[in-house]
């Protein structure tokens, strides 16, 4: 007689689900506690929390931009190059073009959405792998950035930049940097789109099984273009904030944000909704990275500790994301098998048994 297959108890499955969903938020709290004990005079202070929120708001927004195409199973590697071009263009429009700053910001954000849609068209209708296509378009963006700036920085005029424009990043809201409120608002909007509206569900179906999405009538190409356009829209907004933060246009900036953005997006797919990219998980993942980087920085780590931390976390994020996706597929397959298995008749009396 063969032994029956091992099945986890409902309590074990529930415990595993809780660990998978909320293990990353617990890690963020644990890291904050550890660094607070190690650095009691500097780490658990309002100034330090404000500094972390301010420094990590743009990486968080860029990570949220990356989650949108990832939901469809695509990658947009042009987001770092797009960030660099967007912040240069908005400064050139304000400084050299004398555009009103609201109009310059709107033009850059809409331009980011248009370029994102172009990325989607190249990927979907050109049948080019998203990794290769967006790496190519990103390189073109980098060339445009160099052409616009001539390889030199864009400096504000003698009168400086409008105060209302710089306040987009420098002001506070409820005692905390206003940039942190942008992150929370954007995460809430993406959560609503992904979890409560048909658009987000379509994107997830496309990402998990494009062929099945086509069979049920979802126009996969159109929605993939929408995903890239949404990513470009968010990148344009991040570029506006970067310009308001730095107040000068640096043609080489942007690439340094690419790795942290994908680390946050991929690591975020292992939390809250394990196995798929989600906005809340991305915010939690960026919080883990921010706390870790701030802690090792205040402990006096060498300059190479930051890329080491980011690279190691990226490998961990990719591994955990793949494990979460496989675990989700196995759970779905097991549930399907249970629903198709007829109920056992062992021990039941037959009609002829007295």
**Per-residue pLDDT tens over the stretch 180-231:** 999 999 999 999 998 889 998 999 999 988 888 988 899 999 999 999 999 9
Q: How far apart are CA 260 and CA 62, in angstroms?
A: 9
Question: What are the φ/ψ torsions at residue 172 (nearest 5 degrees)?
Answer: -120, 160
Residue 16 lies in a domain: no
Rounded distance, CA 6 to CA 3, Å? 9
Q: Where are the alpha helices (DSSP H) in 269-343?
A: 279-298, 305-340
pLDDT category of residue 351 using cuts at 50, 70 and 90: very low
Give me the phi and psi of 349, to 5 degrees please. -80, 140
Stated as kind and residue range, the H or E segment containing 177 is: strand 176-177
Structure tokens at 15: 């415990």
Is 103 part of any domain? Answer: yes
The answer to whether position 3 is within a domain reads no
pLDDT per residue as tens digits for the range 324-346: 667 766 766 666 666 666 655 55
Give DSSP secondary structure letters for 27-56. Answer: HHHHHHHHHHHHSTTTTTSHHHHHHHHHHH
Q: How far apart are CA 169 and CA 101, in angstroms?
A: 14
Q: Is the pLDDT of residue 51 over 80?
A: yes
247-250, long-range: CB within 8 Å, 24+ apart, which pairs?
Answer: 247/156, 247/160, 247/161, 247/166, 248/91, 248/153, 248/154, 248/155, 248/156, 249/87, 249/88, 249/91, 249/92, 249/149, 249/153, 249/154, 249/155, 250/84, 250/88, 250/153
Question: What is the number of structural domains in the chain?
Answer: 1
Residue 123, pLDDT above cutoff 70 = yes
Mean pLDDT on 288-315: 83
Confirm whether 15 is domain-assigned: no
pLDDT digits (tens, 9 = 90+) for 127-175: 999 999 999 999 999 999 999 998 888 888 777 899 999 999 989 888 8
Any domain includes 168: yes
pLDDT: is 122 or 297 the higher one? Answer: 122
Do 100 and 258 form a contact (C-beta atoms < 8 A)? no
For residue 27, tell me if it sits in a domain: yes
Indicate whether 11 pLDDT > 90: no
pLDDT, residue 328, reads: 65
pLDDT at 1 over 50: no
pLDDT band at 3 (very low <50, low <70, confident <90, very high): very low
Two tokens at 37? Answer: 């004990």
Range of the domain at 273: 21-330
Task: Please give the average per-residue pLDDT across 277-304, as a whole number.
Answer: 88
Q: Evaluate if residue 321 carries a pLDDT over 70.
A: no
**CATH number, domain containing residue 258:** 1.10.3470
- Distance separating alpha carbons of residues 227 and 201, to the nearest angstrom: 12
152: helix, strand or coil = coil
Residue 34 has pLDDT above 50, yes or no: yes
- Residue at 13 is within a domain: no
Average pLDDT of the chain is 85
pLDDT at 331: 67
Structural domain includes residue 345:
no
Check pLDDT > 50 for residue 57.
yes
Q: Are 278 and 269 in contact (CB under 8 A)?
A: yes
Report pLDDT for 176. Answer: 84
Higher-confidence position of 124 and 305: 124
| pLDDT at residue 14, as a whole number | 54
Q: Is the pLDDT of residue 106 over 60?
A: yes
Whether the Cβ atoms of residue 104 and residue 93 lie closer than 8 Å to each other: yes
Count CA atoms within 13 Å of residue 246 on its CB side.
23
């Amino acid at each position: 007689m063969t032994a029956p297959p091992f099945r986890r108890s409902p309590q074990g499955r529930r415990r595993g689900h809780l660990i998978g969903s909320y293990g990353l938020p617990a890690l963020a709290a644990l890291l904050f506690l550890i660094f607070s004990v190690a650095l009691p005079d500097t780490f658990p202070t309002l100034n330090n929390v404000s500094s972390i929120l301010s420094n990590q708001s743009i990486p968080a927004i860029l990570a949220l931009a990356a989650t949108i195409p990832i939901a469809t199973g695509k990658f947009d590697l042009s987001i770092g190059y797009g960030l660099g071009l967007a912040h240069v263009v908005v400064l050139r429009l304000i400084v050299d073009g004398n555009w009103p700053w609201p109009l310059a910001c709107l033009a850059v954000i809409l331009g980011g959405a248009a370029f994102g849609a172009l990325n989607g068209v190249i990927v979907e209708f050109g049948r080019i792998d998203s990794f290769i296509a967006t790496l190519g378009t990103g390189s073109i963006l980098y060339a445009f950035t160099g052409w616009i700036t001539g390889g030199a920085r864009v400096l504000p005029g003698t009168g400086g930049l409008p105060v209302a424009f710089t306040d987009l990043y420098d002001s506070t809201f409820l005692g905390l940097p206003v940039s942190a409120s942008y992150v929370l608002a954007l995460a809430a909007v993406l959560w609503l789109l992904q979890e409560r509206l048909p658009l987000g569900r379509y994107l997830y179906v496309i990402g998990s099984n494009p062929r099945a999405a086509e069979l049920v009538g979802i126009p996969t190409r159109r929605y993939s273009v929408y995903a890239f356009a949404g990513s470009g829209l968010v990148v344009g907004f991040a570029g506006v904030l970067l310009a308001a933060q730095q107040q000068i246009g640096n043609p080489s900036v942007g690439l340094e944000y690419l790795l942290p953005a994908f680390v946050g997006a991929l690591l975020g797919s292992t939390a809250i909704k394990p196995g798929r990219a989600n906005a809340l998980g991305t915010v939690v993942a960026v919080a883990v990275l921010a706390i870790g980087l701030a802690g090792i920085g205040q402990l006096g780590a060498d300059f190479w500790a930051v890329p080491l931390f980011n690279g190691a976390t990226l490998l961990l994020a990719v591994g955990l994301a793949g494990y979460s996706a496989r675990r989700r597929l196995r759970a779905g397959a097991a549930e399907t098998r249970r629903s198709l298995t007829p109920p056992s008749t062992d021990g039941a009396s037959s009609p002829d048994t007295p």
